[in-house]
Structure formats: C-alpha cells, structure tokens
Amino acid sequence: MNDFVKYQAIAIGASAGGLAALAEIFAALPENFPLPILVAQHLHFNQDDGYLKYFANRTLLPVKDADDKERIKRGHIYFAPPNYHLLVEKDQTLSLSVDPRVKYSRPSIDVLFESAADIFSSLLIGIVLTGANDDGAMGLKAIKERGGLAIVQAPATAEVDCMPRSAIATGAVDHILPLTEIGPFLCALVTPKD
C-alpha cells in the first residue's frame, strides 16, 4: 500500500435508507481506490442478491457478499450476507457468524465495527449512516477509542436519523458530514498531498 495512505480499511454501517446512501458514497470512489470497505447493512434475512446488482451499476469497485475465511483485498467492497454477522480475523480474513442477533440485527454493525477495530486499530475508518436504531454507536466508539477515524452522516441528510444521532451522542465522533461529502472526503484521505 502507498506510504501516504494512513488507513488500511473502512467499515460502514447502515440500516433504513442505507442502500441509497451507500450508492452515493460508492459512486464517488475511483476504480483505483486503495482501501477495502466492509459493510454491515441491515437486510431482510432472506434478501436475494439484488442489492449486489444494484451496487454493481453504481460503483467502479468490485462488490460482493463476504465469504467465510476470505482474505480481504484492497479496493473491494464486502457486504455482510443477509442473516450473518461479519467479523475480521487476526490474519485479516473475513469470517461469518450466526451468533444471536445484536440489537435485533444480524448482521450487527457493532459486531463488525468492534471486530475490525480489534484488528486494524488506528488504521480503521468507521462510518455510521442512516438507520432507525442505535446499532453502530458503541462500535464507532470502539473504533475511536482504538485511535481510528469516526465519521457520521449528518442527521439532516439521513433518510432516518436515529442511527447518526445515537452515534453522535456517544461523543466519539471526528467528523459529521453531509452524505454528499463522505465519498469525496474518503478520496481526499487516500490522495497524496502535493
């Protein structure tokens, strides 16, 4: 990875309104975007793969459901499959779990964020987007406590503002950004300075 890239991975959590919000962010990322993106989006447990096809037409990056024991590749977007928690292992592979739901959700944003924070520590960017509960708030706090970068979608730009507001209420947030600014902000973080 290039020396100027301070971070190694991005973890994003979204719920109600998340597909449109994620599409907005992904569309802003160039095909040479260097970081892997791990996503916990609350989906119905028997959701088909239509959401992957939706994103395939809205980003230049490869998008897929994460496979158990899959090695994380730079510039790829990995979704927690419906009805599975997504975790990061010590060897930077992905693992899937059917452990009980957390805050009524599987995948749980907190589970992804906390496991990713354990592995990537200060090299992780965490982002909480639109959603109707408080999943992700404690996970984002864990990312911040380990020195990572904590970003929250500005509640006024969220389809449902409960999740962003819950994350902000923890006090563990570095940036509160309108949805349209999150993608460009990520690009700026990994672009070399003149």
- What are the residue ranges spanned by the domains of the chain? 35-187
Annotation marks residue 85 as catalytic: no
Which one of the listed residues 42, 85, 115, 161 is annotated catalytic? 42
Give Dmax over CA atoms of the chain in angstroms.
48
How sure is the predictor about 49, in pLDDT bands with cuts at 50, 70 and 90?
A: confident
Burial 6-19 (b: 16+ CB within 10 A, else e): ebbbbbbbbbbbbb
How sure is the predictor about 46, in pLDDT bands with cuts at 50, 70 and 90?
A: low
Percent with pLDDT over 90 in the chain: 84
How sure is the predictor about 43, in pLDDT bands with cuts at 50, 70 and 90?
A: confident
Q: Within the chain, where are the H helices?
A: 18-27, 50-56, 109-120, 137-145, 162-169, 179-189
* CB contact at 8 A, 190 and 1: no
- N-term to C-term CA, the chain: 18
Handedness of CA 194, 28, 151, 38 (dihedral sign): negative
Annotation marks residue 115 as catalytic: no
pLDDT at 4: 47
- Across the chain, what does the average pLDDT equal? 93
Is residue 172 over pLDDT 70?
yes
Annotation marks residue 44 as catalytic: no
The domain 35-187 is placed in CATH, from the list 1.10.3720.10, 1.10.390.10, 3.40.720.10, 3.40.50.180, at: 3.40.50.180
**Nearest in space to 148 (alpha carbons), one of 176, 127, 164:** 127
Which one of the listed residues 115, 135, 161, 166 is annotated catalytic? 135
Q: What is the mean pLDDT of residues 38-44?
A: 89
Which one of the listed residues 15, 105, 115, 166 is annotated catalytic? 15
- Tallying the residues shown for the chain, one arrives at 194
The encoded tokens of residue 57 equal 């037409």
For 57, residues 6+ apart whose C-beta sits below 8 A from its C-beta are none
The encoded tokens of residue 114 equal 């906390």
